Amino acid sequence: MPLQLPDYPWDSLEPFAARARSHPDGIVDLSVGSPVDATPAIIRDSLSAATDAHSYPLTAGTPALRDAIVAWFARRRGVDDLTVANVLPTIGSKEFIAGLPLWLGLGQGDVVVQPTLAYPTYAVGAALAGATIVSSDDPAEWPDATKLVWVNSPGNPNGRVLSIEELSSAVARARELGAVIVSDECYAELGWDEEFDDVATPSILDPRVIHGDRNSVLCVYSLSKQSNLAGYRAGFAAGCSRILGELLAVRKHLGTLPPAPIQAAMITALGDHAHVREQKERYRARRSTLAAALESAGFRIDDSRGGLYLWVTRGTDAWQTVGEFADLGILVAPGTFYGETDPVHVRVALTATDDAIGTAVARLAALSK
């Protein structure tokens, strides 16, 4: 019997994409978060140099890659007490997110908690395992049957950044419930407040959050955003060595492991922060230009403290707003893709070229008149 998975939301956006494509000057697609800028040359060179990959790669990752992940957490996230037993490379982050409830042995009667506004793959993972998904941002509301908690900071779609105190509260409640808690932090290097100019956003593995106890606490990360590596499928998980050891055994059986050249490229990406800083400034400029145009057109920008999106509304139905953008040749995503509790916001991505952002800004001027 086929699995009963949630509907794929992007299919419902296709009529609006067609409307946007019909614009005389073409479409500006601000609906997805797929990087458009080049993968840095130093990373491509590392990939090229590692293409003599005649042996099977290590599921656990090469020693050099695991060391690089540990060093990155210490240097960029303020997490300086990890060992190689606390990290595990993944094929991007989506496969890990989707598979985790099943690999943890969850099933019927178990609850997976996700944010009220959530990346749809959290619910897909729960469905694959036959578990029940509950959407809640309040730890006090999480039911006794909770076995897995997802938090996401900076959040997709709304760019919400969780504080040390909020992360601590979530971890404390998960421990009361005996649940595994996982923080999806793939936008951590893209915090927009002044306090994040030189540091990444807070991690769930921060010593101020877990106080030296990583038991049942994980962080999942992807290099897709910070390093323009979406096509490489380069990610990793970190945290509780017991859980990661169990997952490593599962992944050996399944053959879910990054190819050897990708592992080599990841080492370079993790060791060089200059390209990350340069990419962040590109996004900052696009964000500033687009935010000003949206506000001039009467939109309010909420949250959006981190990540690659602006969470905007004019107080009207989200699908109506999607249609108004489509008539301008601009495609955006309705907030209802991420939760039914917010019918008025749309998500506007920053992942377009400077020229495309300039085109969108010019078209938005028509809404300002």
- Helix 121-129 to helix 94-103 angle (10° resolution) is 30
The percent of residues in the chain predicted with pLDDT above 70, rounded, is 98
Dump pLDDT digits (tens) for 32-80.
889 999 999 999 999 999 999 999 899 999 999 999 999 999 999 999 9
Query: What pLDDT score does 58 carry?
Result: 92
Categorize the per-residue pLDDT at 368 as very low, low, confident or very high, splitting at 50, 70 and 90.
low
**pLDDT, average across residues 151-176:** 97
Dump pLDDT digits (tens) for 219-278.
999 999 999 999 999 999 999 999 999 999 999 999 999 999 999 999 999 999 999 999
**Does the pLDDT of residue 366 top 90, yes or no?**
no
User: What torsion do the CA atoms of 248, 207, 63, 265 make, to the nearest 10 degrees?
Assistant: 90
Q: What six digits make up the tokens of 228?
A: 């323009």
**Does the pLDDT of residue 1 top 60, yes or no?**
no
- Helix 260-271 to helix 41-49 angle (10° resolution) is 150
**CA dist., res. 328 & res. 319, Å (int):** 14
**Does the pLDDT of residue 4 top 80, yes or no?**
no
| The length of the chain, given as a count of residues | 369
Dump pLDDT digits (tens) for 293-325.
999 999 999 999 999 999 999 999 999 999 999
Output the 3-class SS for the chain: CCCCCCCCHHHHHHHHHHHHHCCCCCCEECCCCCCCCCCCHHHHHHHHHCCCCCCCCCCCCCHHHHHHHHHHHHHHCCCCCCCHHHEEEEECCHHHHHHHHHHCCCCCCCEEEECCCCCCHHHHHHHHHCCEEEECCCHHHCCCCEEEEEEECCCCCCCCCCCHHHHHHHHHHHHHHCCEEEEECCCCCCECCHHHCCCCCCCCCCHHHHCCCCCCEEEEEECHHHHCCHHHCEEEEEECHHHHHHHHHHHHHHCCCCCHHHHHHHHHHHHCCHHHHHHHHHHHHHHHHHHHHHHHCCCEEECCCECCEEEEECCCCHHHHHHHHHHCCEECEEHHHHCCCCCCCEEEECCCCHHHHHHHHHHHHHHHC
pTM, two decimal places: 0.94
Mean pLDDT of the chain: 94
Categorize the per-residue pLDDT at 6 as very low, low, confident or very high, splitting at 50, 70 and 90.
low
